[in-house]
Amino acid sequence: MDILILLIPLSLVLVGVIAWIMLWAAKSGQFDDLEGPGHSVIMDDDSPPKPDDTPRS
């Protein structure tokens, strides 16, 4: 049982780290579009490159 005395504060630190990550993610726009990226992964991108080779910035 004594190990809990170490583990409980450790869990608090872990939650703090996760919370910081979540807040960073919200701030940097990770939640702006919750549906699109899921779909765009599935779509194949197998067509030839653009004819004029314009760099897509």
Partner 1 sequence: MGRFVSNSPGLTDAPSFSGCFHCGLPVPDGAHYPIQFEGQTKQTCCRGCQAVAQTIIDSGQGAYYTHRTALPATPQQAEAELAQLGLYDLPEIQESFVRVEAENIREAALILENIVCAACIWLNERHIAALPGVLSVEINYATRRARVRWDNSRIQLSAILKAVSDIGYIAHPFDPGRSDDIYKRERNTAIKRLAIAGLGMMQVMMYALPAYTATDMTDEIRLLMRWASLILTIPVVGYSAWPFFIGAWRDLKRRTLGMDVPVALGVGTAFVASVYSTFSGHGEVYYDSVTMFIFLLLTGRFLEMNARRRAGAAVEELVKLIPAATTRLPNWPSRDEEQVPVARLAVGDHILVRPGETLPADGRVVEGDSAVSEAMLTGESLPVSKSVDAKVVGGSLNQASPLVVRVDKLGADTRLASIVRLLDRAQSEKPRIGQLADRAAAWFVGLLLLITVAVGLAWYVIDPSKVLWIVVSILVVTCPCALGLATPAALTTATGRLTRLGLLTTRGHALETLARATDLVFDKTGTLTHGRLSVRRVVPMNGHSASEVRAVAAALEAGSEHPIAKALREGVALTHSASQIRNTPGRGVEGSIDGHSYRLGSPRFATASETPPAPPASDSGGHPKDGHKHPESGHESWVALADESGLIAWFALADTPRADAAASLAALQQLGLRLHLVSGDAEGAVRATAQQVGIADWHAAALPEDKLAYVKSLQQQGRIVAMVGDGINDAPVLAGAQVSIAMGEGADVAQAAADMVMLGSRLATLAEGVALARKTQRIIRENLGWALGYNLIAIPAAALGYVTPWLAGIGMSASSLLVVLNALRLSAFRQPADAPSAKAQVSVMQSHVPGI
Residue 32 binds partner 1, judged by CB under 8 A: yes
Residue 48 binds partner 1, judged by CB under 8 A: yes
Residue 13 binds partner 1, judged by CB under 8 A: no
Residue 56 binds partner 1, judged by CB under 8 A: yes
Q: Are 4 and 11 in contact (CB under 8 A)?
A: no
DSSP string computed for 13-51: HHHHHHHHHHHHHHHTTTTS-SSHHHHHHHS---SPPPT
Binding-residue total with partner 1 (CB under 8 A): 33
Residue 36 binds partner 1, judged by CB under 8 A: yes
